Amino acid sequence: MTKAFSFRISSSLRRAVTLVTAALGTSLASHAAETTPATESTPTAAYQSVIRIQNSSQIADYRTPWNPGNYSGGTGSGFLVGENRFLTNAHVVSNTRRLLVTKHGSPRELPARIVAIAHDCDLALLEIIDDEDYQNAFEGVPQLEIGEVPRLESEVRVIGYPVGGERISVTRGVVSRIDFRPYSHSQVDQHLVIQIDAAINPGNSGGPVLQANKVVGVAFQGLTSADNTGYMIPTPVIKRFLTDVGDGSYDHYVDLAIDEFPLMNPAQRKALGLPDNDRGILVVSVLKGGTCDGKLESGDILMAIDDHPIFSDGKVNLNGESVTMHEIVERKFAGDLVKLEVLRNGEAEEVTVSLKPFDPSRIFQIRYGERPRFVTAAGFVFQPLNRNVMAAHPISDLEGRKLIADYIGEGLYTDWEEIVVLTQILPDSINADVTGFRRMVVDKINGVKIRKLQDVFDHLYQPMAQGKLPEFTTIHCLGAERPIVIESEKMIEAHARIRSKYGVSSDHFLDYENYELEHQNEETSPAIEPLDEAA
């Protein structure tokens, strides 16, 4: 089976756009074969498999991207799932500079590192760095076995290290709901979740949720507006992650890349010539370059997916549960095929699509473990737009906001590889009359269309550094009535002065592909601060 990245376009993207515009060498499969399941019947048998995790982290500063960022820290939980493989939440170990794990009943803090991490489903796999440390601490400790989805109203145990103490904690709860909800870590991805009536507090995150000594979930977030309500990542998501990282890398989810609409309105169904049988949903749009591009059309009625009838609310029956049709896709990988039954112009057709990721959607995900990319020139700071930049520098002009809103829906990503924003103008006499251009989308520099950050470097910074700019430098921003115009000679003179005045330690950073804080395990001095929105 081939593998890959998903993202539910239809509803999660609409929410993201609304927020933006208004604001391993060894295979996991082989580990599974070597696993000794925790089959002991005593409730305390699993405690030895659960670890406490301390994360000293470095959080990137998107306001001053040349700075190293802020140091912080937090604690969480994890558990043994394979030979020197511990499962936890991505948000527990994100932005890490140092990880320490502690076994139940032991005072020793063992250095650990990330093997694989998936921010879109909030899961990560760790290993203890020193194999001798692992053998000494965990020899004979059972590896927890991954079970199935628990039934509604069945009892589960949540095990972990919540704040308020350093010893292991156990709470019991009942499975109250199985749903498809947003994951707070990325702020945009949606997957299957299970709700339980047990509190999941900071520090619980990453701990196992057990039923009959088998893992039925990973604790990962709570509901701040309700008491004793927690959420766990269920086993279909866990198993998919472990399968994906079995080759040592995480390839993300796949997606249909369509926007759909439920067909529950009787009048609309009648207008479309559909029977009153609660079947079918409307394809509103097909995203360019996505899985269904050239296969589906706007106006198609989706009737079934992989022989599962699609009801008028967009749900299917899967293993006895009513879940969104996207759950069928969620369990597949890149290159896998999906069969769609379509009603087009009143005629039934069968369409088979090969699944693939939809990368443009990542603009709306929160980034972790990346150094911010930027270019500076004479006090002008240029950054490519993503969720982190949006939070640090909210876009206020209407043209820029419309561009962001249309980036996915109108297929602008086919022309704009990145949206580049003039996020800051560091005050100086050279730019005294252009402060109104701050936080605007850059359209052209010296007549050249800007479609990615590299363009700014190639057509502004590099010519400036080489003294090859034209007599006047012009920067056009979307929605601006006039361009920024500066004498290039004065701009070159001002660059070093502004860098010194504002402590700009670097002119630019373009490539984050080989720079991931999550794969650096340097010693730092952490602040003691619990993890935030997720438990």
Please report, to the nearest 10 degrees, the dihedral formed by the alpha carbons of residues 151, 141, 48, 131 taken in order: -120
**229 and 265, same structural domain?**
no
Q: For residue 277, is it within any domain?
A: yes
CA 475, distance to chain mean position in Å, is 33
The enclosing domain of 294 has a CATH number of 2.30.42.10
**341 and 487, same structural domain?**
no
Helix (H) or strand (E) holding 477: strand 472-477
Domain endpoint, select from 247, 272, 288: 247
Domain endpoint, select from 311, 336, 359: 359
Task: Specify whether the CB–CB gap between 158 and 219 falls below 8 A.
Answer: yes
**130 and 205, same structural domain?**
yes
pLDDT digits (tens, 9 = 90+) for 313-325: 999 998 888 889 9
pLDDT of residue 204 exceeding 50, the answer is yes
CA 132 to CA 431: how far, in whole Å? 59
Q: What single-letter DSSP state applies at residue 143?
A: B
Which whole-number Å values give the CA distances from 397 to 42, 180, 478, in the listed order?
Answer: 62, 34, 9
User: In this predicted structure, what is the pLDDT of residue 394?
Assistant: 87
User: In this predicted structure, what is the pLDDT of residue 343?
Assistant: 96
**112 and 241, same structural domain?**
yes
Average pLDDT, the chain: 85
Domain endpoint, select from 310, 325, 359: 359
Tell me which residues are annotated as active site. Answer: 91, 122, 205
pLDDT digits (tens, 9 = 90+) for 495-508: 999 999 999 999 99
Q: What single-letter DSSP state applies at residue 12?
A: I
CA 122 to CA 127: how far, in whole Å? 17
pLDDT of residue 95 exceeding 70, the answer is yes
pLDDT of residue 526 exceeding 70, the answer is no
Q: For residue 531, is it within any domain?
A: no
Q: For residue 535, is it within any domain?
A: no
User: In this predicted structure, what is the pLDDT of residue 200?
Assistant: 83
**242 and 115, same structural domain?**
yes
What is the pTM (predicted TM-score) of this model? 0.84
SS (H, E, C) 50-63: EEEEEEEEEECCCC
Q: For residue 8, is it within any domain?
A: no
Q: For residue 390, is it within any domain?
A: yes
**465 and 348, same structural domain?**
no
Residue among 416, 436, 418, 426 at smallest CA distance from 477: 436
pLDDT of residue 5 exceeding 80, the answer is no
**504 and 421, same structural domain?**
yes
Question: What total number of domains does the chain contain?
Answer: 3
Residue 57 CB coordination number (10 Å) = 27
Q: For residue 9, is it within any domain?
A: no
**111 and 213, same structural domain?**
yes
The enclosing domain of 412 has a CATH number of 3.20.190.20
Helical ranges in 416-512 per DSSP H:
453-456, 462-465, 488-502
Which residue, chain included where needed, has tokens 């009801």? 311
**276 and 179, same structural domain?**
no
**384 and 336, same structural domain?**
no
Q: Is 436 helix (H, G, I), strand (E, B) or coil?
A: helix
Burial of 410 (0-12, 13-18, 19+ CB in 10 A): middle
Residue 108 CB coordination number (10 Å) = 11
Which residue, chain included where needed, has tokens 């509103």? 284
Q: For residue 38, is it within any domain?
A: yes
User: In this predicted structure, what is the pLDDT of residue 519?
Assistant: 42
Confidence band for 225, pLDDT divided at 50, 70 and 90: low
The enclosing domain of 215 has a CATH number of 2.40.10.120
Q: For residue 533, is it within any domain?
A: no
Strands (E), 168-245: 169-182, 190-196, 208-211, 214-222, 230-234
Domain that holds residue 82: 25-247
**274 and 239, same structural domain?**
no
**192 and 114, same structural domain?**
yes
pLDDT digits (tens, 9 = 90+) for 465-486: 888 889 999 999 988 889 999 9
pLDDT digits (tens, 9 = 90+) for 447-457: 999 999 999 99
